Amino acid sequence: MCGIVGYIGEREPVNVLVSGLRKLEYRGYDSSGVAVVNAGHVQVVRAEGKLTALEEKLKNQKLSGTIGIGHTRWATHGIPSERNAHPHTVDGVCLVHNGIIENYIQLKAELSALGATFSSDTDSEVVAHLLAQELKKTPDIFKAIQKIIPRLEGAYAILAMWEKEPQRLVAFKNGPPLILGVGNGECVVGSDVQALLSYTDKVIYLDDGEVACIEKDKYVITDSLGKELNKAIVTVHWTSQAAEKHGFKHFMLKEIYEQPLAVSSVLKKYTDLKTYQVEFSSMFLSPAQNTVSRITEQDLKNVERIFIVACGTSYYSAMYAEYLIEKLAKIPVEVDFASEFRYRDPVIPPKSLVMVISQSGETADTLAVLRMAKNMGAPVLSLTNTLGSTIDREADLHLFMEAGVEIGVASTKAFISTLTVINLFSLYLARTRKYLSIDEEKQFVQNLLALPSHMESVLAHDKFFAEAAETFKNYKGFLYLGRGINYPIAMEGALKLKELAYKHAEGYAAGEMKHGPLALIDDKMMVIVINPQDNHYEKTLSNLQEAKARGGIIVSIGTGDDASLKSVSEHYLSIPKSDWMASGILSVIPVQLLAYHLADVLGYDVDQPRNLAKSVTVE
Ligand code: M6R
């Protein structure tokens, strides 16, 4: 987490830094800061809270220079406060850090014994002291950094400058992303391409262990042994996507409304609209690296088992994929949280495929699983929303969510896009294994093509939740129930409510409710039952009755005008009639809208919920 940006060139750095930080604020938003070197002196401005607090301060403190660094923070060590905000400055050395220095206690003790005094509680400040110490012996920031790197343990992306060498920025990393943008007489560095695209479309992705010494019109990149590298410059074919709300109160609401478009983009990418067949040849190409995969279609046909690993919302899409792939393609699937999978000595037999799902493409645990799987010899398929992200670049096969930039920290359109890709990919696997006839495939694809317009009609529930939120906010707890593919969607509904409305919510497999959670139910518990007319319908209806008999207040999501479901529910929300595969996706929208409106009516920051960040690059 944390967003880093740096600039060297003729523009006023502070303007580039603040506009870059605005694009990176999704990575953390508890404090921020910028530093500029001017006439041989570092000037720093930092503020607790969102970026707007820093912008306010900058109105009264003008910073000017030709080189600068900036940071937006998600606290790991030390509370969110101005004193813990980056940049950290020691004897004219100034740096910003994203990640965790795991041996900071040991380094801090060592530096304290040498007389260093610390002005923050962060692990990051230790690196500034270490560098300042080294510069006394090695007065060249590029060389000094190469000397201190072996002392650092953990994950880091660091950008540093020194007031005595105001013509150089040095960037180095081990773990979190850092990208160099090469402009015309200027260079920009950032944690995400989005922070660079206003200045250049020519970028270099730094790899772990590399160090970049950057001047305004040249740069040198070395490997961990100090050997100079000739790294490829990649032209990125996307534009800086404006973070505009377009009249919506929040980015999240705008992104919920963009979901029909996101689904259309997925359908356009992965189906042939003439034959109504799915089309996945692009998966074997890496657009970020311009390479063809070593894994072939035949290798994929030989796969006997799939492991799907992810975190958070992406984990629920992995659960959804398990149902789809097993049902349609008959391949055994195992799903796990990345943070568990990586440490449980998993057995990955030969002929397995490991699929990692990550909206950001940077989640630390998911990336670690990717690397572990590759080391164990398994091919890795990534499904990300971020072309050129570390996970995308390191995977063997590449799928994309096609959701466009998602600003709201709570994932919405990326989730729905992921489910759509999974639907189509399951059809692809089923077809290649001959479990699906051409006609069946066409039928599924045609049903999915109707999804965007069905989704538009489900968005009409927005009005219901906007009004009902005033009453719903008084409930003490929320239980989300579903069976089959609607079980992961119930889990996702509960997660959305927790992260946005800070309410206790549980997602449960409807059939499991009587094995414990039933004891939670009384008239202060709202029970949200996802029960479209599929083959689980009758059984879920019985579970709903069990909850109702204990006083639970029932909100049900069903198909069309379902009189039976309506009659046993306090509130009934209808989704259009469609096949079971498409109905799962339609059910997601009401649970998103419920969480959104509850959070809004409670006065919480919907786009930037407390304690969270969108890209989780620490363990
Ligand atoms: O970028 P990723 O998909 O790897 O992120 C995984 C989770 O951190 C993420 O889904 C998180 O749970 C979101 N806040 C959900 O809204």
Q: Are 535 and 518 in contact (CB under 8 A)?
A: no
CA-CA distance, 24 to 21, in Å (whole number)? 5
CA-CA distance, 345 to 335, in Å (whole number)? 15
- SS3 percent helix, strand, coil of the chain, rounded to 5, is 40, 25, 35
How far is the centre of ligand 1, averaged over its atoms, from the C-alpha of 160 (Å)?
29
Output the pLDDT for position 405.
85
* Higher pLDDT pick, 62 / 118: 118
Q: Is 459 helix (H, G, I), strand (E, B) or coil?
A: coil
Q: For residue 146, what is the domain's CATH number?
A: 3.60.20.10
Q: Which residues are catalytic?
A: 2, 614
Name the residue with the closest Cα to ligand 1, atom 7.
312
In a domain, 265, yes or no: yes
Q: Is 62 helix (H, G, I), strand (E, B) or coil?
A: coil
DSSP state of 536: T
Q: What is the pLDDT of residues 410-447, one digit of tens each?
A: 999 999 999 999 999 999 999 999 999 999 999 999 99
363: confidence class by pLDDT, cuts 50, 70, 90: very high
Please tell me whether residues 498 and 353 are part of one structural domain: no
Please tell me whether residues 475 and 370 are part of one structural domain: no
Please tell me whether residues 495 and 568 are part of one structural domain: yes
Please tell me whether residues 211 and 310 are part of one structural domain: no
Per-residue burial over 526-554, b = 16 or more CB atoms within 10 Å of its CB, e = otherwise: bbbbbbbbbebbeebbebbeebbeeebbb
Q: Are 363 and 616 in contact (CB under 8 A)?
A: yes
334: confidence class by pLDDT, cuts 50, 70, 90: very high
Q: Are 360 and 385 in contact (CB under 8 A)?
A: yes
Q: Which of 405, 431, 449 is the last residue of a domain?
A: 449
How far is the centre of ligand 1, averaged over its atoms, from the C-alpha of 411 (Å)?
7
In a domain, 606, yes or no: no
Mutate to test the pocket of ligand 1, among 392, 411, 608 (most ligand atoms within 8 A of CB): 411
How far is the centre of ligand 1, averaged over its atoms, from the C-alpha of 267 (Å)?
23
Angle at 337 between CA 427 and CA 79, to 5 degrees: 135
Q: For tokens 């689904």, name the residue.
A: 263
In a domain, 608, yes or no: no
| 243 has pLDDT over 70 | no
| 224 has pLDDT over 90 | no
Please tell me whether residues 289 and 377 are part of one structural domain: yes
Q: For residue 317, what is the domain's CATH number?
A: 3.40.50.10490
Q: Which of 432, 449, 466 is the last residue of a domain?
A: 449
Please tell me whether residues 123 and 261 are part of one structural domain: no
The residue range of the domain holding 574 is 458-601
Q: For tokens 């958070």, name the residue.
A: 312
Among 242-246, 421-425, 559-563, the least confident range = 242-246
Q: Number of folded domains in the chain?
A: 3
What tokens does 74 get? 């998600």
In a domain, 293, yes or no: yes
Please tell me whether residues 55 and 204 are part of one structural domain: yes
Please tell me whether residues 477 and 444 are part of one structural domain: no
How far is the centre of ligand 1, averaged over its atoms, from the C-alpha of 616 (Å)?
8
For range 471-487, the mean pLDDT: 95
Output the pLDDT for position 194.
86
In a domain, 111, yes or no: yes
* Higher pLDDT pick, 243 / 310: 310
**HEC secondary structure over 265-293:** HHHHHHEECCCCEECCHHHHEECCCCEEC
Alpha helices in 502-616 (DSSP H): 537-549, 563-567, 580-601
Of the candidates 118, 117, 39, 129, the residue with the CA atom closest to the CA atom of residue 91:
129
236: confidence class by pLDDT, cuts 50, 70, 90: confident
What is the bridge-based pairing of β-strands 154-162 and 93-101? antiparallel
Please tell me whether residues 353 and 208 are part of one structural domain: no
540: confidence class by pLDDT, cuts 50, 70, 90: very high
| 76 has pLDDT over 90 | no
For range 136-162, the mean pLDDT: 96
| 402 has pLDDT over 90 | yes
CA-CA distance, 69 to 16, in Å (whole number)? 9
In a domain, 281, yes or no: yes
| 239 has pLDDT over 70 | no
Which residues form the pocket of ligand 1, taking CB atoms under 6 Å from any ligand atom?
A: 311-314, 358-360, 363, 366, 409-411, 499, 612, 616
Q: Give all strands of the β-sheet with 211-214 in edge-to-edge order.
A: 88-90, 93-101, 154-162, 169-174, 211-214, 219-222
Output the pLDDT for position 25.
86
Name the residue with the closest Cα to ligand 1, atom 14.
410
- Beta-carbon contacts of 237 under 8 Å, excluding residues fewer than 6 positions away, are 201
| 612 has pLDDT over 90 | no
Computed over every residue of the chain, the mean pLDDT equals 94
Please tell me whether residues 412 and 526 are part of one structural domain: no
Q: What are 8's strand-pairing partners?
A: 67, 187
| 240 has pLDDT over 80 | no
| 241 has pLDDT over 70 | no
From the CA of 311, give the closest atom in ligand 1: 6
In a domain, 247, yes or no: no
CA-CA distance, 424 to 589, in Å (whole number)? 20
In a domain, 371, yes or no: yes
Q: Is 229 helix (H, G, I), strand (E, B) or coil?
A: coil
Q: What is the pLDDT of residues 166-186, one digit of tens each?
A: 999 999 999 889 999 999 999
Mutate to test the pocket of ligand 1, among 27, 256, 384, 616 (most ligand atoms within 8 A of CB): 616
For range 261-287, the mean pLDDT: 94
CA-CA distance, 87 to 96, in Å (whole number)? 5
Please tell me whether residues 287 and 156 are part of one structural domain: no
Q: Which of 400, 423, 449 is the last residue of a domain?
A: 449
Please tell me whether residues 260 and 233 are part of one structural domain: no
Of the candidates 158, 198, 203, the residue with the CA atom closest to the CA atom of residue 181:
203
Give me the amino acid identity at 24: L
